[in-house]
Amino acid sequence: MTHVRTLALALAAASIIAPAARAQEALGDLTLTFPDLKAKQGQILIAVFDSPQGWASGKPVRFTNASAAKDPATAKILALPPGSYAVRAFQDVDGDGKMATNPFGIPTEPYGFSRDAQPNMGPPSFAAAAFEVKAGANAQSLRLN
Amino acid sequence: MNRRDILRGAALTGTAAVLTPETLWAAAANDWTLGIADVEADIAPTGLTRIHGRAPADLTGTLFRNGPAKFRRPGGAVGHWFDGDGMVRKFQMADGQARMAARFVDTVKRRQDTAADAVITPGYGTASGPGARLGSADDANAANTSVMMAGGELWALWEGGSPTAMDPVTLETRGFKALSPDMKGMPFLAHPRVEPDGTVWNLGLAGKRAVVWNLSADGALRKAEVITLPRAGYMHDFTATERSLVIILQPWVQEGMSMPIATNMVWKPELGTKVLVLDKNDLSKRRVFELPPFFFFHLGDAWEEADGTIRFDACIDKDPSGTAANGGAIVRGEFLKAPPPRRAMITLRANGQAELAAEAVSAEFPRSDPRFAGFARRYSVHLTNERPDRPLFQSVAVRDWKKDRDQVFDFGARHLVEEMVFAPRPGSSAELDGWLVGTTLNLDARATELHVFDAGHVERGPLVTWRASVALPVTFHGVFVGA
């Protein structure tokens, strides 16, 4: 009985303390810029991943876009739990919402990966594109080719 | 040489710095390797020195040629001749004088390899190095195989990617040519077939799929259609008649998608060689012919006779162990002893039968009078006399198919002879009435030379020879553009 009561108290205490602890664990805001776009048209479609599994299966944790008309094109992704992330993006120049490819499957719209990770007969690995998001302001620049 | 070899060498000698591919190359070189030496910088426009004969008064025009000219960097070299950086050469002839200039094509590959101080870009026979970008084939585009004129632009061609547009006056690179926005990055072989009116037909390949390009004389896209081929055979060249595209599917078959490209190719002679003939006006109308297995890089222009018989010449090897493999060996200063490619005539009959008549004459870089492309013709021009002790050819030949006769001029063992192209005599329309224009690399003078022959009397030797002040590595293909 005493044990049960102690446990209950402990849980109650934990439930009171936990939100305070989480509030202290500050989130990160990520600003992405896309310099030197060749065409200032359409939206840049941006996917943010937090794991190699998500990267490989194409399941982003965040998805956003940025106007390519602005110079430089910029997107802000707010309130990310600190950790390791990777970004892939393409410029939807023709506005159809899809990354256009030629008949042999090669992208015909500009695309790129965080940390300027380079494709080599396929996208780069999560590790090659990954960067740390820390509490507070974070910035990454992506070159779309 | 791989990294481990370099490290082992360094451990033994303690002098890693001297064991770069460049220094090993210099130490090992036979003198024919001048033909595959590195060029470090563009060649500014300069006059050539006439060393023999006199230029025809009415010969005015420009010979553009393309070929790889940078193979080795401190951090690593190409694995194959086909992977060197393209350098476009320009030889202008007018008023009895000749001038030249040469510039590297400013490709993504060249920039990437220059920045890495190593050949990291993968290719035909070169593996990918650390940090290489290969988002599309154009990232590996060496723009090093041929050239063509299109709408006032000079295009440097490479078979796996887009044409690269250049300024024909300054040889400045303008960038990859997207023939339409949705066809950006599609491959365009370095051997377009050009009809006498300038209409361009070409292929681009991805395994068993091919895009068939049809361009007007100014380089504008008329049509691009994707077709499926009976097999994923390696193809450097195809041919065409007035009405048909003739596509040879040799039994060197692509069985993977990795780099370098050549490592995916498997020789399967049991498959034989298939010839696909497509109607230019309706690509769904196709005929397939069967021939014995052979390997080839180059074909002559084809023609169709009144009874439907299609004929064309070809330069064929027994298999890829000769010409194709030697392209990897020669960049290392080695030469694999193998029979040279030989001349052959291929006949496709209206009843579906096909015949291959192989000859003993060694032959490569076949050309003909471009005003007869797709039509019955009498002559072929090609190189001949590959030497048994070194790569490349020392003679040029004109084949008269009607008289069954060859005229040959032998430059001798001290020249590496490059493809010769036909330049028509102004005002004349007779086949091969004009000149052959081409370059050789003179190993004694250590200089590139430009020669002009009377195309009807090749055996008499050059009418005029000019010598450059530089030795440039041998080229693959070129075009003559009359003034």
Q: Which sequence spans correspond to the domains of chain A?
A: 26-141
Interior/surface letters B279-297, b for 16+ CB within 10 angstroms, e for the rest: ebeebeebeebebebbbbb
Q: A120: pLDDT confidence band, cut at 50, 70 and 90? A: confident
Structure tokens at B342: 């030989």
Q: Measured between alpha carbons, how far is B299 from B236 in angstroms, rounded to an integer?
A: 9
Residue of B133, B159, B188, B259 for testing the chain A interface, max A β-carbons within 10 Å: B133
Residue B164: is it exposed, middle or buried by C-beta count within 10 angstroms (0-12/13-18/19+)?
Answer: buried
Interior/surface letters B96-105, b for 16+ CB within 10 angstroms, e for the rest: eebbbbbbbb
Residue reference for tokens 């005539």: B345
Residue A15 has pLDDT above 70, yes or no: no
Question: How big is the A-B interface in CB pairs under 8 Å?
Answer: 50
Could you tell me which CATH number the domain at B24-377 has? 2.130.10
pLDDT at residue A14, as a whole number: 41
Q: Is A108 in Cβ contact with B185 (below 8 Å)?
A: yes
pLDDT at residue A88, as a whole number: 97
What is the model's pTM? 0.89
pLDDT at residue B7, as a whole number: 35
pLDDT at residue B135, as a whole number: 86
Residue A23 has pLDDT above 80, yes or no: no
Adjacent-strand bridge partners of B325: none
Residue reference for tokens 């070299």: B77
Name chain B contacts of A104, Cβ cutoff 8 Å: 185-187, 206, 209, 211
Question: If phi over 0 gives left and psi between -120 and 50 gives alpha, with beta otherwise, what is residue B40?
Answer: alpha
Q: Per residue in A30-79, pLDDT tens?
A: 999 999 999 999 999 999 999 999 999 999 999 999 999 998 999 999 99
* Regions in chain B scoring below 70 on pLDDT: 1-29
pLDDT at residue B20, as a whole number: 55
Give the minimum alpha-carbon distance from B66 to chain A in angstroms, rounded to a whole number. Answer: 27
Give the minimum alpha-carbon distance from B264 to chain A in angstroms, rounded to a whole number. Answer: 14
Name chain A contacts of B175, Cβ cutoff 8 Å: none
CB-CB neighbours of B446 under 10 Å: 12
CATH 2.60.40 assigned to domain A26-141? The reply is: yes
Cα A91 vs. chain centroid, distance in angstroms?
16
Q: Measured between alpha carbons, how far is A5 from B138 in angstroms, rounded to an integer?
A: 71
In chain B, which residues touch A (CB < 8 A)? Answer: 128, 131-137, 178, 181-187, 206, 209, 211, 226, 257-259
Give the minimum alpha-carbon distance from B182 to chain A in angstroms, rounded to a whole number. Answer: 6
Among candidates B51, B252, B65, which has minimal Cα distance to B154? Answer: B65
pLDDT at residue B26, as a whole number: 52
CB B55 within 8 A of CB B63: no
Residue A12 has pLDDT above 60, yes or no: no
Q: How far is CA A55 from CA A29, A30, A67, A105, B202, in A?
A: 20, 18, 24, 20, 39
Residue of A88, A108, A116 for testing the chain B interface, max B β-carbons within 10 Å: A108
Residue of A120, A142, A143 for testing the chain B interface, max B β-carbons within 10 Å: A120
Q: Measured between alpha carbons, how far is B173 from B104 in angstroms, rounded to an integer?
A: 9
Task: Locate the domains of chain B by residue range.
Answer: 24-377
Q: Kindly provide the ipTM of the predicted complex, given to two decimals.
A: 0.85
Give the minimum alpha-carbon distance from A122 to chain B in angstroms, rounded to a whole number. Answer: 7
Name chain B contacts of A107, Cβ cutoff 8 Å: 135-136, 185
Q: Measured between alpha carbons, how far is B399 from B369 in angstroms, rounded to an integer?
A: 12
Name chain A contacts of B206, Cβ cutoff 8 Å: 104
